Amino acid sequence: MSSKPQALTSIGPMRAFASNAKKVSTELIEINENLMEFNKFVTEYYKQLSETWTEAQKKVNQKSPDVPHDVEQIESFKRIWIDIFDNDFTELFDSEKFGENYGKLVSKELELTKHWNNISNVILQSANLPSKEEIDEVYREMHALKKRVTKLEIELKKKKEIKNDGGIKNEK
């Protein structure tokens, strides 16, 4: 009966949204869990940067203990500072521990993006719009069709060439 409040969601965007509301809340819970993991890797990331900075600064202090007094001294201090910091940070970025943590950090970030995509899909579907997967399917189909057309064009070109060659031979 139209007088029943639940009938309000029987058609239109609200129905789709209401039926998918559980999915949204599940995604939000998972985002929360992901964020905790993500924070773990972000913390490790900044810990590595901060430790490298401290070590590099110690090396700079050992190499240039005096306060520079003139322009040349400032220049050479700057050079030492940049060289040591670049070397130490490049060593960090080249290391297994950095690569591994950074890989996990990006991976967690991607998982967060996936949850966000899933929530967006619920909203898109409730508005009767195609989801990301559906659009991807169209892109995949277009790509396959383009390849097929190119292949057919090449075959057609070859056949024309053979036909033309045959015509020339016959004329001879």
- Interface residue list for another protein (CB under 8 A): 67, 69-71, 74, 78, 81-82, 85-86, 89-90, 93-96, 98-100, 102-103, 106-107, 110-111, 113-114, 117, 135-136, 139-140, 142-144, 146-147, 150
* Structure tokens belonging to residue 60: 């700079």
User: 19 or 47, CB closer to another protein?
Assistant: 47
Whole-number minimum distance, CB 124 to another protein, in Å? 15
Whole-number minimum distance, CB 142 to another protein, in Å? 7
User: 132 or 163, CB closer to another protein?
Assistant: 132
User: 14 or 152, CB closer to another protein?
Assistant: 152
CA distance 50 to 42: 12
Contact by Cβ (8 Å): 126, 16: yes
Whole-number minimum distance, CB 42 to another protein, in Å? 14
Amino acid occupying residue 155: E
- How buried is 115 (Cβ within 10 angstroms: 0-12 exposed, 13-18 middle, 19+ buried)? buried
User: 19 or 150, CB closer to another protein?
Assistant: 150
Whole-number minimum distance, CB 105 to another protein, in Å? 10
Q: Residue 2: which residues within 8 A CB-CB, separation 6 or more? A: none
Whole-number minimum distance, CB 110 to another protein, in Å? 5
User: 10 or 90, CB closer to another protein?
Assistant: 90
CA distance 159 to 153: 10
Torsion of CA 52, 58, 63, 64, to 10 degrees: 110
Q: How many CA atoms lie within 13 A of 6 on its CB side?
A: 2
